[in-house]
Structure 1
Amino acid sequence: MTDCVACGAGTLVEFADLGGIPVLCGVHYATRDEAVASPLGRMLLGYCENCAYVRNLGFDPQIMVYDTTMDTNLHHSAAFRGFSTDLVEGLAERHELAGRRILDIGCGQGEFLRELCEHTGATGFGFDPMYAGTPGPDSSGAFFVSGRAPLAEPAQLPDFDFVTSRHWFEHEDDPYAFLTALRERAGDREVRGYIEVPDAGYDLATAGWEVIYPHVSYFDSVALAAIVERAGWHVIAEGTWFSGMFRYIEFSTRPSGPARTGREDVGRPQDAGRLFWPDHTAARDRQLNAVRGFAERHRRELDRWHTTLAALRDSGQRPVLWGAGSRGVQFLTQVDPKVELSAVVDVNPRKWGRFLPVTGHRVDSPETLREIQPGAVVITNPAYTDEIARSLTELGLDAQILTA
């Protein structure tokens, strides 16, 4: 039995075994042979009946390597850039970040931290082993380190007034230690923070394309609040946005911050301070129902998509996948292992001409669809539907968009 790291009061019960899935789903290989040879890791999911926290019980940190060969950058999408800018403006206003010191753990390629520093005049410190830029300071006021934050020795962390971590917390093998290290470094000062993760309430109530090997943990509202508060922080806001796919939580060292607020779905991030606090009992029950039905729902979705793609191919519609991120990699591994789709495209030029792990699908520019003339475009993230539809129109294509 494995103890729950979120609430600390339950044990994790196995509920779904997805077998072997790509470990390095953020790496894009120079050759197909390299891609096909990339490692698989076991996805064995367990959940806590007390707080609905979910974890990959088969996770092996020894095979999960982060370095600058990974590219998980979402800022090539106009929709994501717009969301990120709205978030910067909302955080700056709600937490009075002008001139503050900001620590960003899992900063990616630094776009968010740079924008936050430029908007507020703050000083930033960004840590990420995937950061491929020049280490050190830049003109935005941010200082970047291509490596992990020294959480094992909190005294070595830079002083900070505000800590952010977007789409990294779920990668931590010990997320509780992550939060307690930050709380220790904050000490007696008033320090606030913002964490954003994929919403487990969405991912486990659907096919689970975001149930990927690098994600050790899956948090809904109850589990995320539980682990934050157990680590000694006070929750001041929570909710979801980006079509309900991202979950956020804001917290402070002191309970005297803004009144608790939350939003159970999409709105402009600037509006978070005017929203309601959700019912955690109802949220936990919804999540437990989603968890208990996940294995069968996942199997049905795989069967449905195998049938759908075969029918599209047989009718001459030349189906393609738009989006070669982690969700796309998971979809391709489980639904198109024989590489029968007519193409995989992505807006990130760093992926063009490279190959995806395990299946070896080649990634190309959306421009290649002019020649292919697909009748159907499959996407795995509904938040990008409008953006992709506009791009298809600009390419002169009249293809149906199917959301997996």
Structure 2
Amino acid sequence: MSSQTTSEFAVNYTVEETLADCICPNCGHQGLSLFYQVDRVPVHSCLMLSTPEDALDFPTGDVLLGFCESCGFITNTKFDSHWSAYAPNYEDQQSFSPTFNKFALDLANRLIEKYDLRNKDIVEIGCSKGDFLLLLCELGNNRGVGIDPSVVPGRVESEAANRVKFIQEYYSEKHAEYVGDFICCRHTLEHIQPTFEFIQTVRRSIGDRTHIPVFFEIPDTIRVLKDLAFEDIYYEHCSYFTPGSLARLFRSCGFEITELYRDYGDQYLMIEALPIEMPSETVHPFEETLDELKRDVEHFKAEINNKLGRWKQDLEQWQAEGKRVVVWGSGSKCVAFLTTLDTIDKIQYVVDINPHRHGKFIPGVGKQIMSPEFLKEYQPDRVIVMNAIYCDEIQKMLDGMGVKTEVVPL
């Protein structure tokens, strides 16, 4: 990574303010307004690497966010799908966290009750390692099909395993036969740039079976803009949705929005929809207006460099004072945090509760991922938590290990 001054962190004002020839993949509008740039970031954050050399030599790409003033969609205009490499060594499993597991259990129970998902056929597009699909099938005695190139059949033990079929492929038209009684897709759409084409594919697979509900879950970009959450902007996430832009996409593809809301500390955006024959123009009350969204984009553009500068200053000061600083959480937020700030050398260690990450090295960062037990010996002065929703859980673990430290939520 090259050295950057505070004023150069994110927005490169030498680029044109508008990319006139760029077509919005969400609505087809020509021309996007550019507002945030980070160069030479790892093209994948969750691929596990075996050596620090492989991690430091990992391919990089650029992030240049463009905002569509027609539909509100935000995309990385520099994204190249050539780098998409979701495979079994793509490690994004979150079910080692009690906090996340409670959220997943509550969500599964709610969907089962609402849509009477009992003895039904469920399809999950982008099922990761299969945790949530198996949970739905366990709780409702359902049958399932999970489609994801990174799935590892057998990774998750479940009494429903013999009722679930996993397909280690990217979802496409050829999977149109898998519709079932309910379609869910969690934290996948943000990895896909041709969003209209993707949702159209899902809609065509349903055909005239207008009773089939769909449920999608993605990160909420309103929070990213308002909280200046630069750690949630990274290369794999090429598509950034707000309630309004997400609802407009689903309406344009032949769905009626039945629910639109946030959950998980307002970090996740959820949409529930039903296919319809005639286009719907009903605007959900949870949708923001384009003017409101423009103001949030301008706020991010005006303030992001100040936040980046403050973090860089803190890390440099702690290093000068000889403080032992570690990051808790080795996933995409960690990679974005360290590479955006260009301060990899200011952090000594990274820890994670996912045992499948231990001993591996982080793309673009080169740090080895340690287990939390490592901290009993290391006794850090500060632990920077990549996601504040886990602070209570982490503090409990630290107390149990006798680790006295300052927990700093990002």
**TM-score, length-normalised on structure 2?**
0.88
| Pick aligned residue for 1:44 from 64, 71, 74 | 64
Note the 1:236-385 alignment, pairs <5 A.
236-254=258-276, 277-281=285-289, 284-335=290-341, 337-385=343-391
Pairwise CA distance, 1:302: 2.0
State the secondary structure of the residue aligned to 2:90. Answer: coil
Letter paired with 1:107: C
Structure-2 change in CA distance of 1:110 and 1:67 (3 Å): same
Aligned to 1:233: 255
Letter paired with 1:207: A
Pairwise CA distance, 1:338: 4.0
State the secondary structure of the residue aligned to 1:280. Answer: coil
Residues 239-292 of structure 1, C-alpha deviations (whole Å, 9 max, x = no match)? 111111111100011499xxx998xxxxxxxxxxxxxx42532xx434322222
Aligned to 2:11: none
1:123 aligns with 2:143: yes
Check conservation: 1:342, 1:372, Cα contact below 8 A.
Answer: no
Check conservation: 1:373, 1:397, Cα contact below 8 A.
Answer: yes
Pairwise CA distance, 1:336: 5.2
1:102 aligns with 2:122: yes
In 2, Cα distance between equivalents of 1:303 and 1:316: 20
User: What stretches of structure 2 of length at least 5 have no aligned partner?
Assistant: 1-20
Pairwise CA distance, 1:367: 0.9
Aligned to 2:206: 186
Letter paired with 2:330: A
Structure-2 change in CA distance of 1:362 and 1:168 (3 Å): same
Check conservation: 1:193, 1:252, Cα contact below 8 A.
Answer: yes
Structure-2 change in CA distance of 1:338 and 1:180 (3 Å): closer
The more displaced of 298-307 and 123-132 is 298-307
Letter paired with 1:77: S
| Pick aligned residue for 2:237 from 215, 218, 221 | 215
Residues 55-83 of structure 1, C-alpha deviations (whole Å, 9 max, x = no match)? 00000011221111110111111111110
In 1, Cα distance between equivalents of 2:348 and 2:175: 50
Aligned to 2:87: 67
Letter paired with 1:333: T
Letter paired with 1:184: R
State the secondary structure of the residue aligned to 2:119. Answer: coil
Check conservation: 1:199, 1:245, Cα contact below 8 A.
Answer: yes
Which 4+ runs in 1 deviate beyond 4 A?
A: none
Aligned to 1:15: 35
Structure-2 change in CA distance of 1:79 and 1:255 (3 Å): farther
Pairwise CA distance, 1:296: 4.2
1:197 aligns with 2:205: no
The more displaced of 355-364 and 104-113 is 355-364
Letter paired with 2:149: P
In 1, Cα distance between equivalents of 2:248 and 2:134: 30
Check conservation: 2:326, 2:384, Cα contact below 8 A.
Answer: yes
Check conservation: 2:26, 2:194, Cα contact below 8 A.
Answer: no
Structure-2 change in CA distance of 1:301 and 1:293 (3 Å): same
Check conservation: 2:79, 2:238, Cα contact below 8 A.
Answer: yes
The alignment-based identity, stated in percent, is 30
Check conservation: 1:14, 1:47, Cα contact below 8 A.
Answer: yes
Check conservation: 2:92, 2:128, Cα contact below 8 A.
Answer: yes
Check conservation: 1:7, 1:223, Cα contact below 8 A.
Answer: no
Pairwise CA distance, 1:161: 1.8
Residues 162-210 of structure 1, C-alpha deviations (whole Å, 9 max, x = no match)? 1111000111131111111111111111110100001111122223211
In 2, Cα distance between equivalents of 1:326 and 1:121: 34
In 2, Cα distance between equivalents of 1:69 and 1:162: 28
In 2, Cα distance between equivalents of 1:288 and 1:213: 23
Equivalent pairs counted in the alignment come to 382
Residues 333-369 of structure 1, C-alpha deviations (whole Å, 9 max, x = no match)? 1235442313110001111111111120111011111
Pairwise CA distance, 1:325: 0.8
Pairwise CA distance, 1:154: 5.5
Pairwise CA distance, 1:10: 6.0
Pairwise CA distance, 1:9: 4.7
In 1, Cα distance between equivalents of 2:403 and 2:360: 24
User: What stretches of structure 1 of length at least 5 have no aligned partner?
Assistant: 263-276
In 2, Cα distance between equivalents of 1:376 and 1:398: 9
Pairwise CA distance, 1:152: 3.0
State the secondary structure of the residue aligned to 2:373. Answer: helix
Pairwise CA distance, 1:140: 5.3
Check conservation: 1:109, 1:130, Cα contact below 8 A.
Answer: yes
In 2, Cα distance between equivalents of 1:233 and 1:376: 48
Pairwise CA distance, 1:28: 1.9
Letter paired with 2:257: V
Letter paired with 1:90: R
Letter paired with 2:114: R
Check conservation: 1:243, 1:382, Cα contact below 8 A.
Answer: no
Aligned to 2:3: none
Structure-2 change in CA distance of 1:60 and 1:223 (3 Å): same
